[in-house]
Structure 1
Amino acid sequence: MGEVRNVELVNLVIFMFSAHVDYWLETIKGELEAEFGRIDYVSPLLDFEKYTLYYNEEMGSGLMGRLISFERLIHPSLLSVIKLKTNDIEQKYSVDGKRRFNLDPGYIHHMQFVLATTKMWPHRIYIGNGIYAETTLLYVNGRWKDYDFTYPNYKEPEYKAELSKIRELYLEKRKRLLKLLSAR
């Protein structure tokens, strides 16, 4: 019989994309930080539109994104609630039912990058509140490994490089937390 262990905290990451991502990030930054804590990293602009035109009718053309990391570590069981909150923020700024930006929350653990979604597929696991989770990338042998089902943008070196930067931040936070806990 396996022994039940404490679950490690993880690093919340939100991928935000929009035709005007910097404007919208500046507009909602306070709300994001009020909900999820201080932002500790924002990636450079990442091209999103070259991977899909699916969102263009709703959000316009020229979609760019940024990966956003939060300082405060979270329990992974909170991911479904976080996805509901990000959906609420998207809806709050929608015009005539069309979103101005998209917020895709997930988390980085030292071994994986997980995304939340409302869409069920066979490789996704239901985590509650109408939300599913997908292990989008696996970190093994010093690099991110993608899967056949991984979204095309997350297969790209520029996205993986930014996720590696956030992973390094996470490892430092994790090390500080473990040091603090062992001092007790």
Structure 2
Amino acid sequence: MGKVRHTDLVNLVMFFFSSQVEYWFSEIESRLVKIFGPIDYKSEILDFEKYTLYYNKEMGDGVKGILVSFERLIHPYQLADIKLETNKIEQEFAVNGNRRFNIDPGYVHHMQFVLATTKMWPHRIYIGKGIYAETTLMYVNGKWKDYDFTYPNYKEDEYKRELEKIRKLYLTKRKKFIK
């Protein structure tokens, strides 16, 4: 029989994207900080539209994104509640049912990058409250490795480099909890 072990705290990450990413992020950044704590890393603006045009009808052309990391570590079980909270924020700013921005929460662990979603798919695990979790990337042999189902943007080196920076921050923060 396996022994139940302590679950590692993880680094909350959000991918925020919009056709007016800088404007909308500046509008809600303080709200995110109030709810989730201080931001300790913000990426440069990342291209997103080259991977999908899915959001253009809703948000307009030129969709770009920012990856952000939060200083405070979370327990993985909190991800469903965090996704519900970010969905609520998206809907508050929607106009005629169209979101102005999207906030995709997830977390970085030393071995994986996990995203929350409302969409069921065979490789996703139900974590409660209508939310699923997807291991989007795994960290093996010193680098991020993607899967066949990984979203195209997270397969790109540009995104993996940003997540590597967040992973390094996480490793420093988690040392406080490892005994």
The TM tier, using the shorter chain, reads: over 0.9
- Give the 3-state SS of the residue equivalent to 1:177 in structure 2: coil
What's 2:67 paired with?
67
Instruction: Tell me how large the CA RMSD over aligned residues is.
Output: 0.6
CA distances 1:11-67 after superposition (whole Å, capped 9, x unpaired): 000000001111111110111011110000000010000000000000000000000
Q: Which ranges of 4 or more aligned residues in structure 1 deviate by more than 2 Å?
A: none
TM-score by length of 2: 0.99
1:51-90 equivalences in 2 (<5 Å): 51-90=51-90
- Distance in 1 separating the partners of 2:164 and 2:69: 12
1:33 partner letter:
V
Aligned: 1:41 with 2:41: yes
What's 1:165 paired with?
165
- Distance in 2 separating the partners of 1:3 and 1:173: 26
In structure 1, stretches of 5+ residues that fail to align are: none
Aligned: 1:17 with 2:17: yes
What's 2:32 paired with?
32
What's 1:124 paired with?
124
What's 1:175 paired with?
175
- Distance in 2 separating the partners of 1:75 and 1:34: 18
- Distance in 2 separating the partners of 1:22 and 1:177: 35
- Distance in 1 separating the partners of 2:6 and 2:144: 25
- Distance in 1 separating the partners of 2:25 and 2:38: 14
CA distances 1:111-158 after superposition (whole Å, capped 9, x unpaired): 000000000000000000000000000000000000000000000000
In structure 2, stretches of 5+ residues that fail to align are: none
Identity of aligned residues (%): 70
2:146 partner letter:
D
- What is the deviation of 1:177? 3.2
- What is the deviation of 1:176? 2.8
Aligned: 1:148 with 2:148: yes
TM-score by length of 1: 0.96
- What is the deviation of 1:103? 0.2
